[in-house]
Amino acid sequence: MKGNTKHHANNHHEIELPHGRLHVFANPDVFGAFEPKVYEMADNNLRIPRSMYMSYTPDAHVGVGTCIGTTAVWRMRDGFVSPSIVGVDIGCGMRVHLTPLHKRDIQDPAVRRKLIEAIERYVPTNERTNSNYADIDIMDVVRHGLRGLPDKYVPDARWLTHVEEATFKFDHDFLSELPARIRRNAHGQLGTLGSGNHFIELQAIEIDEGRRETGEGWGLFDGQVVVMIHSGSRAWGAMLGREHTKSLKETMALWGISNPDPNLVYAPAVSHEGKAYLNLMYSALNFAVSNRHMIAFGVRQAFKDVFGEAIELPVLYDLMHNYALKEFHRNEPMLVHRKGATRALPPGHFMNTMAYKTTGHPALIPGSMGTASYIMVGRDEGAKNFYSICHGAGRLRSRRATKELVTVDAFAQSLRVGTEDEILVNHRTLETILDECPQAYKDVDQIIDSVVGAKLADVVARCKPMAVIKGV
């Protein structure tokens, strides 16, 4: 499948495939570990007409229709949109809140356990439990995003300004094309965590000396406790994604379009089908950013219960890693798909939110339950990859394989169970979340090394986990 590979400097590999060119950003060890299937999937993606660009970040791994870790770009005027290159969990992304606490303030396991229990009172972690916000109309949220929330749920202006986008605007008439069951199934899910790789994590910050000025300018300090949240659009986005994948398979058959991978679907962005998907995808982005907002609102209340009403948790940033957005690159509008890829804009870039226009915005990269996460900032050189970097460590093995190969004892050891540095979790038994153990993921330090070596972004801070809340 692979043709000639040109190894550029700075962890950049350019691979000739039968139907186009794939760029891979990874250090030699990570690049050498990619399985052949990822190149087969890339070639299937490159069969979509008029592709401008396609790349993999170092955390890339096999997904449905498209690898997680993909950036794929078309011109807006004649390009294609693909639900498969967005992913089912539309708008899934990261959020970080700062606290005034030092890690020594929660070093006592009893304090962390109290915080975990308080967070679980406000943030449902069981799939069958509804949210605590029945007074919020989810249709206001899917139409208007954060600006559709009642004022009482917006503690201060930063909660609206320190985000990638507070409201994704779209043609609301397309909502009439959605089956009623999507609204029914999403009802009661706002402010709920979800299962799988979603989490709430309490972490302690270590600022990188090379970016200390940036980190301190963002309000970070060494030893600071921060809250990292990973969640998405829940049933709204999942059902919308499945609905459009199914309908586009049928439409492609009518158009006489085929692809070796039946799970890879796409349509011209200017077609009715393309416009319908894009507009409804934006409704899911609105749900996703609002869902993380409401999870954070619950976490804030939990901290107040434990540390007093005076404590506040200002937003550092909220951003996504599953979407397709209209962006301006190379002096023209492009449709940039990122599936498991994070946008990392450099200082001074015009697409930065106003709050981070000068410094560039925080790019939030989770590790795994037993390893560090990272806060990064984009570099000018990131233009070569449309300012995309990794979205995490990336899975090393499937959930099934993880359960077969990793023991509970090995999982416990990775969480340092029984030591004073134990990473506490909210589950009574580790067996229930074994498929999310650190051994299921690639080495996040190697992933970050790949990104830094490619000069796509720099590390601003390393975040060491202290407690993890997972859904079931």
Indicate the pLDDT class of residue 1, thresholds 50, 70 and 90: low
Helix (H) or strand (E) holding 14: strand 12-17
Annotated binding site for Mn(2+): 89, 198, 230, 321
∠ CA(294), CA(304), CA(317), 5° rounding? 45
Cβ contact 39:63 at 8 Å: no
Cβ contact 234:87 at 8 Å: no
Sole residue written with tokens 């330090």: 445
Q: Which neighbouring-strand residues pair with 364?
A: 375
Q: State pLDDT tens for residues 63-76.
A: 999 999 999 999 99
303-342 core/surface letters (b: 16 or more CB in 10 A; e: else): bebbbeeeeebebbbbbbbbbbbebebeeeebbbbbbbbb
Could you tell me which of 59, 138, 102, 132 has the C-alpha nearest to residue 340?
Answer: 59
Region of residue 430 (left: phi > 0; alpha: psi -120 to 50; beta: else): alpha
At residue 354, what is the residue type? M
Q: State pLDDT tens for residues 141-171.
A: 999 999 999 999 999 999 999 999 999 999 9
Asked about 391 being catalytic, the answer comes back as yes
Q: State pLDDT tens for residues 395-405.
A: 998 899 999 99
Annotated binding site for GMP: 197-201, 321-322, 366-369, 373, 391-394, 470
Q: State pLDDT tens for residues 116-140.
A: 999 999 999 877 677 889 899 999 9
Pairwise CA distance, residues 330 & 335, whole Å: 12
24 vs 88: which has the higher pLDDT:
24
CATH homologous superfamily of 5-396+441-470 equals tRNA-splicing ligase RtcB (3.90.1860.10)
First to last CA, the chain: 39
Q: Provide mean pLDDT across the span 297-325.
A: 98
Q: Provide mean pLDDT across the span 300-306.
A: 98
**H helices of 171-264, where?**
180-186, 212-217, 234-255
pLDDT given for residue 137 in this prediction = 94
Tokens describing residue 372: 């560090």
Residue 19 has pLDDT above 80, yes or no: yes
Q: Which neighbouring-strand residues pair with 206?
A: 462
Could you tell me which of 344, 324, 219 has the C-alpha nearest to residue 277?
Answer: 324
Write down the catalytic residue from 12, 13, 293, 391.
391
Q: Provide mean pLDDT across the span 273-282.
A: 97
Average pLDDT of the chain, as a whole number:
95
Q: Exposed, middle or buried: residue 180 (CB in 10 Å: 0-12, 13-18, 19+)?
A: exposed
Cβ contact 185:239 at 8 Å: yes
Residues 6+ apart with CB under 8 A from 249: 262, 265
Pairwise CA distance, residues 84 & 65, whole Å: 6
Q: State pLDDT tens for residues 412-433.
A: 899 999 888 899 999 878 988 9
Cβ contact 87:340 at 8 Å: yes
Strand residues in 208-348 grouped as ranges (E): 224-231, 267-268, 315-320, 322-329, 332-339, 341-343
Cβ contact 341:433 at 8 Å: no
pLDDT given for residue 156 in this prediction = 96
Residue 30 has pLDDT above 90, yes or no: yes
Domain chopping of the chain, boundaries: 5-396+441-470
pLDDT given for residue 193 in this prediction = 93
Annotated binding site: 89, 197-201, 230, 321-322, 366-369, 373, 391-394, 470
Residue 12 has pLDDT above 70, yes or no: yes
Indicate the pLDDT class of residue 272, thresholds 50, 70 and 90: very high
